[in-house]
Amino acid sequence: MKTLVLAQVKKFILASILVFAFAGAAFAAVRTVTLSVPGMYCEVCPITVRKALEKVPGVSRVNVSFEKKEALVTFDDASTSIKALEDATFEAGYESTVKAPAKGGQAK
């Protein structure tokens, strides 16, 4: 009888570890956001914005469109945040705001 309880406890612990492992993976997600960068006024601006965003740790991909005045940024949200991305463009001289949140938000 005692060994049966022990086996169940072990099973429970193992299940808990698995749940936490998956939860941890869910928190660290690669996300893509569109930043609106209205201050870009010439062909060189997107390059400055892209370089500023690429410097942010955790950013894996940056695509800046001068025509749309947008920056598409792919980043690991365990390493960086949208706020850090906005700060990076701001420090480079361009204010930016999130245009399309990754989850169910409406574009402004």
- As measured in angstroms, the least distance from the Cβ of 22 to Cu ion is 45
Kindly tell me which of 69 and 99 has the beta carbon lying closer to Cu ion.
Answer: 69
- As measured in angstroms, the least distance from the Cβ of 39 to Cu ion is 9
DSSP letters of 15-81? HHHHHHHHHHHHHS-EEEEEEE-TT--STTHHHHHHHHHHTSTTEEEEEEETTTTEEEEEEETTT--
Kindly tell me which of 82 and 92 has the beta carbon lying closer to Cu ion.
Answer: 92
Token pair for 33: 């956001």
Binding residue for Cu ion, selected from 35, 45, 52, 71, defined by CB under 5 A: 45
**In sequence order, which residues have a C-beta less than 8 Å from that of residue 101 and are 6 or more positions away?**
33
Report the distance separating Cα 17 and Cα 3, nearest Å.
21
Binding residue for Cu ion, selected from 17, 25, 28, 44, defined by CB under 5 A: 44
Kindly tell me which of 70 and 80 has the beta carbon lying closer to Cu ion.
Answer: 70
Contact status: 1 vs Cu ion (CB under 5 A): no
The residues that touch Cu ion, with contacts defined as CB under 5 A, are 42, 44-45
